Amino acid sequence: MMDVKRSAPGRNNFRSINSIIMRFPQFKEGLKEIRGVFEQYDEDSNGTIDLEELKKCLQKLQVELTEQEINDLFGSCDMDEIEGIQFNEFIVLLCLIYLLIDPATSSNTTSKMGSPQLKATFDTIIEAFLFLDKNGDGKLNKNDLVKALNEDSPWERSPAHISRTRFEEMDWDRNGNVSFREFLFSLVNWVGMDTDDEIPIIAC
């Protein structure tokens, strides 16, 4: 539905995949605020947001999309195809909406989603993806991930099976590329938004 591409050279705070992992607690804390937004738009309180509730959500957030774009957004985030957007899927949906909105109105829209911390969290997640996207084409491939895994300790390369496992966790549709949407779903799972347990350690 959309790609995240490096539009201009800029400063990136990430220097290795470990620096991304170290931000997991920050990601989790920032994304926790979305729970209240989810419950606000889950009007029938059934634990999912259906297509009609999504339309009302977009209307309240003042995000203008065509009927087809709304259907595409809903379909792309309903990963388990149970005809409803669950909480973890809603996190991904909101981040994709954040990418879709006009920068001139982004502050107004994100203020309706939550605090400025949420905007900062989305920006940091996008920054993490751009760090991993070594060739800047808006998608991650296995070579991108291998480079990221080995940048922290270039003299001690990660075993091939570790790189393969990490990539397979992100490549949901098994097409050999990881879109920003797939990266988001994986990150939400790694951070553990559906649990209050410790942040999982992603071995590399």
Task: Write out the chain's pLDDT in tens, 204 residues.
Answer: 455 654 444 556 787 778 888 888 988 888 888 888 889 889 999 999 999 999 998 888 778 888 998 999 898 888 877 778 999 899 999 888 888 775 555 555 555 565 677 888 898 999 989 888 888 888 998 888 777 777 655 555 555 666 678 788 888 888 989 999 899 999 988 888 664 444 333 443
Q: Check if the beta carbon of residue 139 is closer than 8 Å to that of residue 177.
A: yes
Q: Which two tokens stand for residue 7?
A: 């539009």
- For residue 188, the tally of other CB atoms under 10 A from its CB is 22
pLDDT at 109: 56
How does DSSP classify residue 138?
S
Contacts of 35 (CB under 8 A, 6+ apart): 87
Q: What angle do CA 15, 89, 167 make, to 5 degrees?
A: 40
Q: Check if the beta carbon of residue 99 is closer than 8 Å to that of residue 2.
A: yes
pLDDT at 148: 75
pLDDT at 16: 76
pLDDT at 198: 40
* Cα–Cα distance for residue pair 183/128, rounded to 1 Å: 10
The structure's pTM equals: 0.77
**Which neighbouring-strand residues pair with 85?**
49
The dihedral built from the CA positions of residue 141, 200, 27 and 14, taken in this order, carries a sign that is negative
Q: Tell me the CA end-to-end span of the chain in Å, nearest whole number.
A: 30
Q: Which two tokens stand for residue 51?
A: 């297509």
Q: Please give the backbone phi and psi of residue 49, each rounded to the nearest 5 degrees, phi first.
A: -110, 120
